[in-house]
Amino acid sequence: MFSLFKELNNNYLDRTQNLNLQKKAWVSLAREYPPNLANYNNQIDFFKHPSLSLASEIGDLGLALLWIVQTVLVRSFLKEISPEFIAQNKLEENLIGSLAHSESKNKPFTVFKNKNNLVLSGQKKYITGGLTSDFILLTARSSQESKVNSIILLLTSDLPKEALEEISLKGFKTTSHARLFLKSFTLSTNQLIVIDPRLLRKSLKKWGIIEKSMILEAYLGLFLYLAERIDYKGKNLKAIKDILEIETKILQEQLEIEKEGGMIPVQFIQFDKILPQILSLVETIGKDYSSYLEKQQLQADDFIFMTNIFKSKLVGQN
């Protein structure tokens, strides 16, 4: 782990500008830490867990997010709904897969099925892995359906040249993010993963809960990484470490319930309790930002960007 993380730490800035380096980073990470949750379910010290380690040890939340998406939203999800599909299509672990699920409520992504083909039209708004993706799991619905009822495998090599467009986010620069546009795009019905729509929606929801828990855990790891490296006045790091330990236990419980086939509870840490410490760190970053080196500015950007996301979703829910 040490040599890999040292390499990732050293080429952090280069990866923010180079998609080939981002792909190479994933190949190296997947070789040492395969995106297979079964390898980590019984792990007690989650500071050795890849997504948390990437954030807490080298401050790379972007690559941590990619590992989470690969492990949870792509591999675990696909193994559950159609394990044979992975082998049939040779979706090896060193390939980058993405889940294209986020879309406008008023303009859903649609699929029309005829005897031999699928016809796809619509836009997906936010795809982690973006332009580095080798394949995409695309959710869609028939035009007469109000809910997602299909999932389709897209090989990015088969897509039109302009179908994927890079998104410039305010954070996570070590991982590509993109939106997808397709209009009357035709492909074989062999790319459709056959599954009961109710089971598909249930699986998407379950793995989405686990994904959010893992992201929150990595985010807290980034908090500790930054707080220990800048002139942070709110030095009550014990509160953050305690909350991180609680979130890790929640995640572990969710993984155990999933393994036993139970219903995953929508449970997260009490974000309100650590909001003062979080806002204090944000304030410190704001005052001293111009004095930071470029790498530290990007890491601070990640923290502030994710803080705003979690504030909008978790504050006041507990």
Sign, CA dihedral 180-184-187-188, equals positive
The predicted structure's pLDDT at residue 48: 59
Residue-wise DSSP of 222-287: HHHHHHTTS--S---HHHHHHHHHHHHHHHHHHHHHHHTT-PPP-----HHHHHHHHHHHHHHHHH
Q: Would you give the DSSP letter of residue 102?
A: -
Q: What is the per-residue pLDDT across 80-118, written as a single tens digit (0 to 9) for each?
A: 998 888 878 888 999 999 999 999 988 899 999 888 899
Run of H or E residues at 58: helix 50-58
Run of H or E residues at 122: strand 117-128
**pTM (predicted TM-score):** 0.93
Collect the ranges in the chain with pLDDT lower than 50. 44-47, 318
The predicted structure's pLDDT at residue 43: 52
Q: What is the per-residue pLDDT across 128-143, written as a single tens digit (0 to 9) for each?
A: 999 999 999 999 999 8
The predicted structure's pLDDT at residue 46: 42
d(C-alpha 244, C-alpha 305), whole Å: 19
The predicted structure's pLDDT at residue 284: 87
Which domains does the chain show, CATH number per domain? 97-195 (2.40.110.10)
User: Which tokens go with 45?
Assistant: 């010290």
The predicted structure's pLDDT at residue 49: 79
